[in-house]
Structure 1
Amino acid sequence: MQPHPSPARALPRRPPAFLAAAAAVLLALVLSGCGVRLESDPPPPLTPTADELVRAATVADVVGVRDLARAALDDGATGAVATRLRAIVKQAGTQVTALGGVYDGPAPTTSPTASARATATATTTTTKPTAAAVVRRLGAASSAARGRLADADDAHLARLVAQVGTSQDLSARALAAVAHVKAPATQAARVTVPATLPEGARATVAATVIEDEDAAGYLLEVVAARSSGAARKETAARAAVHRARAQDWATAAGVAGTDGDPRRTAYALPAKSVARTVESRLTTGYAALLDTLDPKGRAAVADLLADSARAAVDAGAAITALPGGTPK
């Protein structure tokens, strides 16, 4: 009896999942050869950060001011009004560059908070391009910039926003003066020094502000003593403001009356305009202080920055795109 041949070993069976995957790969190769692409899932939606929202809203306001000022020039503005409008357009370009340019990527899917929204009206809105309209737009943009200071996580960005808002305030006042229209109201009804040193403030920067405020008070007292009439009264009043701020800052920093108090008994007179020099120096000091602060303390320091910048311009300083200097 012939033995039965051994049955051939059965081939292992491939699981259905493997066969499905292999078929999918084969199909993809065939379709790619035919120039056909399979649809893939869309990329996840963009979620902008708080800083991106603040930056985008501030840039949008600057661009809105610039475009309206250009339209006013094209509409026939002349003389001092045209000169001021051209300066506003030029400063807007510097501000947009400092803020990182206009965002041109996909629209974010998260709406900004109320304070981060741009105040600039849409381009479809018909606004007659007059000097008064530019003044109003500058005032609104400046106020909105101040409102965004606590929204930014990055102190450096907050400083830029405060400087842009201050420049817009100064430009609004200057344009209103030459166009003989009403200027926007001052953002802060009363400028005050914080009762305690704001979180994030560096001791060295705070010491510089204390000394600069005290020097401003001393030097303006000297100028007042050499003046007469209304000029003497106004200068003495401003000197008293600076002396009080120096004392308040020293108290807030906990150095008043200590060996760490940076105030001196006398200061050297500057070679040029005393008022312009001391107010410009304070503008720079407050901008530097903003570069270190946590959100809660920024508004008060931004108001002090704006107040010093206004006084410097009133004393003959030029209006710049970023009062206090370009951050390093």
Structure 2
Amino acid sequence: MAQYRHEHVAAAEYRPLPGAAGTERVSGSAHRFVTTITAGMLVFLLAACGIRLETTPPSEPIPDENEITRQAIVNDLALIQQHAALSAADVSDEALSELLSSIEQVAMARQDALGGTYVSGLPDAGDPTASAQDTDASLPIVTEADPASTAARLIESAARVRSSLDIAEDPHLARAVAALGISHALEAQQLMKLAEVEIADPEALLPGEWTTSEPVLSDEQFVALVVAEDYAGYVYEVSAAMREPKSRTRLLSYAKLHRDQAQLLAEMAGVSQTANDPRRIAYALPFQLSAEEPVATNKEIATITQSVEKDLAADYLTLVASVAPADRALLYDAALASARRAQTLGASFDELFPLITGGDAIHALQSDSE
């Protein structure tokens, strides 16, 4: 510490002035001057001695609902990536290895698009020796994996997405996460089929039915869906009529599903059997028919049936962002149902939603709300 000499004044040398003036308090200005000088000397002395007045260290911010949702899906993606990478390196079937590698790469791109694992840059408050690098979120390190475990991770993620769709406050983030959940369900389905594995009770792959009669959508949205669902039913009916009898069963079953859904939505919109009912007797179809070729080809039928399901899936998925948080799962289930039918009809999962096939698309989707 720097050395300071203090001159002692003997008590006998102190002589207060006689009378009241000698006993008066120091005036306000003089008092402030003395206080300032004293505080300045104190700071200087503390600095000279190497003593520092500590401030409260910064603490971890409390994540809001949007960040909780984001972190959960990023953690899921990290685990999926690890399982897929290990599985791809351990299988001999080329097609299966390519699918697993694709799942790994897509999971990695989606993590980056969603901002990656949260790192605050703050040391651990409970460990004074910790550094900023020690604050990375710790996820389980996967050491063993196979196609079945990878499919299980995908299914778990899809189930978690559906059950937590009401958490995020940002509707655009909720829609992006819903798209990822549907994608994981489709990837799991494709992986299970190619690897010939089964997962016990994969409820996440089974969309729920539209069980509510509450008007969760606007009248315009209801009417638009009525037309889309009724059109899909008509497409299947005409397509079934052009196929061999043994090939009609699935098409007719899908036709009934869409006609029933159109009727339910028309009733909810209050337009069923009214002058405002938008359904038609027939719709124009893009088949290239002629006297020589009066029946659509199998390829044309496959293209249009996949298309109506992909369009409906995208319609329902888009509406996730426009309904109350409690109703998001309803639209998710409807989107998943159409997406699964499209996949069954031959559409690959990466064709279904452009907004979930790459990182830039997810980022753009989130930017819509900014």
Q: TM-score, normalised by structure 1?
A: 0.82
Q: How does 1:46-125 map to 2 (within 5 A)?
A: 46-105=61-120, 122-124=139-141
Aligned residues of 2:207 and 2:334 also touching (Cα < 8 A)? no
Distance 2:327 2:140 in 1: 35
Please name the residue that 2:259 is paired with. Answer: 243
Q: How does 1:1-328 map to 2 (within 5 A)?
A: 12-13=26-27, 23-29=38-44, 31=46, 37-43=52-58, 45-105=60-120, 122-124=139-141, 126=143, 128-183=144-199, 185-187=202-204, 188=206, 190-192=208-210, 194-198=212-216, 201-270=217-286, 272=300, 273-320=303-350, 323=353, 325=355, 326=361, 327=365
Letter in structure 2 aligned against 1:278: V
In terms of Rg, which structure is larger?
2
Distance 1:281 1:52 in 2: 30
Distance 1:170 1:157 in 2: 20
Distance 1:178 1:318 in 2: 13
CA separation of 1:290 and 1:190: change in aligned 2, threshold 3 A: closer
Aligned residues of 2:73 and 2:177 also touching (Cα < 8 A)? yes
Distance 1:236 1:165 in 2: 28
Deviation of 1:38 (Å): 2.1
Please name the residue that 1:118 is paired with. Answer: none
Helix, strand or coil: the match of 2:152? helix
Aligned residues of 1:193 and 1:301 also touching (Cα < 8 A)? no
Deviation of 1:210 (Å): 2.0
Distance 2:277 2:42 in 1: 79
Please name the residue that 2:9 is paired with. Answer: none
Deviation of 1:276 (Å): 0.4
Aligned residues of 1:221 and 1:235 also touching (Cα < 8 A)? yes
Distance 1:98 1:294 in 2: 25
CA separation of 1:181 and 1:43: change in aligned 2, threshold 3 A: same
Aligned residues of 1:28 and 1:38 also touching (Cα < 8 A)? no
Deviations 1:240-288 (A, max 9, x none): 1001111111222233334443323322224541210100110110111
CA separation of 1:256 and 1:105: change in aligned 2, threshold 3 A: farther
Choose 230-239 or 152-161, whichever is displaced more.
152-161
Letter in structure 1 aligned against 2:78: V
CA separation of 1:11 and 1:289: change in aligned 2, threshold 3 A: same
| Structure 2 unmatched runs, 5+ | 1-17, 125-137, 288-299, 356-360
Letter in structure 2 aligned against 1:298: R
Aligned residues of 2:158 and 2:182 also touching (Cα < 8 A)? yes
Deviation of 1:31 (Å): 4.9
Choose 34-43 or 52-61, whichever is displaced more.
34-43
Distance 1:171 1:35 in 2: 62
Letter in structure 2 aligned against 1:297: D
CA separation of 1:55 and 1:258: change in aligned 2, threshold 3 A: farther
- Aligned residues with identical type, % of pairs: 31
Aligned residues of 2:89 and 2:97 also touching (Cα < 8 A)? no
Letter in structure 1 aligned against 2:214: T
Deviations 1:72-93 (A, max 9, x none): 2233554111111122122213
Letter in structure 2 aligned against 1:12: V
Q: TM-score, normalised by structure 2?
A: 0.73
Deviations 1:101-159 (A, max 9, x none): 3322269x9xxxxxxxxxxx942465x21111101111111111111112222222221
Distance 1:191 1:17 in 2: 77
Letter in structure 1 aligned against 2:147: A
| Structure 1 unmatched runs, 5+ | 110-120
Aligned residues of 1:290 and 1:302 also touching (Cα < 8 A)? yes
Aligned residues of 1:91 and 1:320 also touching (Cα < 8 A)? no
Aligned residues of 1:95 and 1:321 also touching (Cα < 8 A)? no
